[in-house]
Amino acid sequence: MTEAENLVGPPQALRTLSSHLSLVVPVYNEQENLPALCDRLRQTLEAKEIPYRIFFVNDGSRDGSLAWLRQLAATDSRIRILSFSRNFGHQISISAGLAHADGDVVVVMDADLQDPPEVIPDLLAKWSEGYEVVYAVRKKRKELLAKRGAYALFYRILAGISDVEIPLDSGDFSLMDARVVSLLRSFPERNRFIRGLRSWVGFRQTELAYERMARHSGEPKYRTRHLMKLAMDGFFAFSTVPLQIATYLGLLAAGLGFLYLLYALGTRFLYGNPTGWTSLAAIVLFLGGTQLMILGILGAYLGRVYEEVKQRPLYILDEVIGFPG
């Protein structure tokens, strides 16, 4: 893409699809959800006469998901399947789907029907108005207050220390113009925090409120540990502010140390008070703790740099099904 093509032009009059809408759906052990998902997608999109293709990414499922999809692809030419050699994770699955999806627009959605297919025509309507990115924002989170608070805090901090503003309560469920998709595809990084990259590219972005459903069936695959990793990826991929913490803490510790030295010298000579073991232990612990913490932060960046320079492939495809030619 040349620089001129990359510029943000004036909003166009109502756009229409010239080919089709592509869906990217990561699938990890979703056999109970796939039939209902496909039915609702077909009903919704056919009713609105929206031509579509579905790119399922099978992320190393251990249940019958792949077998079911394979059967579907045999009878429906709109179905494409990318099947990984093992489980690579949600964000990588989305990346693989985006790398293969074609069409004028791409919608990313989960397979568990938490992202209702009925919202897709509304997302598309926003795109017609001229927006390149339309992210679905959930109206109500049906989650614990603590989890909600953690999310809000995460996005608040991220906005503060980086130049990505991810709207609170938006997830990966979104519609992107082919131009945005081809940009995301061209990003070489391994550490992929899709909702951050999506916000980072810019263009005209807007939101659309929807009611997020409970999972149709089965257990959520995202555990707290994964969410923590996702949050850390967000911080480290979009900001180097944590690295500067060392500088500020160092200044603070040196300043405090100096003041304390004055105090200790003063009391020693004026009153003859020896300052003893307790204060020494406190100082050593404070300094040792901060130094270890800073080393940890350095390590987090170093590890990620190492991941990037290895240049390993993002994922390994075991099989692709339904692609012509």
Contacting positions for Mg ion (CB under 5 A): 110, 112, 114
- How far apart, in whole angstroms, are the C-alpha atoms of residue 196 and residue 190? 14
List the structure tokens of 34: 């796939």
Segment 65 to 104, residues that bind ligand UDP, using CB under 6 A: 87, 89-90, 93
Shortest distance in whole angstroms from residue 62 CB to ligand UDP: 11
Taking the least distance from each CB to ligand UDP, the nearer of 179 and 195 is 195
Verify binding: residue 220, ligand UDP, rule CB under 6 A.
yes
Q: Which does 53 bind (CB under 5 to 8 A by kind): ligand UDP, Mg ion, none?
A: none
DSSP secondary structure letter of residue 112: T
Nearer residue to Mg ion within complex by CB, 228 or 280: 228
Q: Would you count residue 111 as binding ligand UDP (CB under 6 A)?
A: yes
- Cβ contact 80:74 at 8 Å: no
8 A C-beta contact, residue 133 and residue 107: no
Residue 59 sits in the site that holds ligand UDP (CB under 6 A): yes
Radius of gyration of the chain from Cα atoms? 25
Q: Residues 96, 101, 112, 230: which binds ligand UDP (CB under 6 A)? A: 112
Options 120-128, 184-192, 215-223, 244-252: segment touching ligand UDP (CB under 6 A): 215-223
Minimum gap (Å) between residue 173 Cβ and ligand UDP: 10
Distance set, CA 100 to CA 23, 183, 184 (Å)? 11, 13, 12
CB of 101 to ligand UDP, least distance (A): 15
Instruction: Give the range of 96-104, 109-117, 119-127, 177-185 binding ligand UDP by CB under 6 A.
Output: 109-117
Strands 79-84 and 52-58: parallel
- Contact, 206 vs 134, CB < 8 A? yes
Query: How many other C-beta atoms lie within 10 A of the C-beta of residue 311?
Result: 8
d(C-alpha 298, C-alpha 293), whole Å: 9
Report which of 88, 95, 112 is spatially closest to residue 318, judged by C-alpha positions: 88
Tell me if 115 contacts ligand UDP by CB under 6 A: no
Binding track over 1-40 against ligand UDP, x by CB under 6 A:
-------------------------xxx-x----------
φ/ψ of 26, rounded to 5, equals -75, 140
In the complex with Mg ion, the residue whose CB is nearer, 114 or 162, is 114
Q: Which is nearer to Mg ion, 62 or 223 (CB)?
A: 223
CB of 222 to ligand UDP, least distance (A): 4
Shorter beta-carbon distance to Mg ion: residue 70 or 226: 226
Residue placing its CB nearer to ligand UDP in the complex, 28 or 52? 28
| Distance of alpha carbon 286 from alpha carbon 157, whole angstroms | 25
Name the E strands within 178-274: 205-210
The single-letter DSSP state of residue 258 is: H
Two tokens at 14?
A: 């109502």
Site residues (vs ligand UDP, CB under 6 A): 26-28, 30, 59, 87, 89-90, 93, 110-112, 114, 220-222
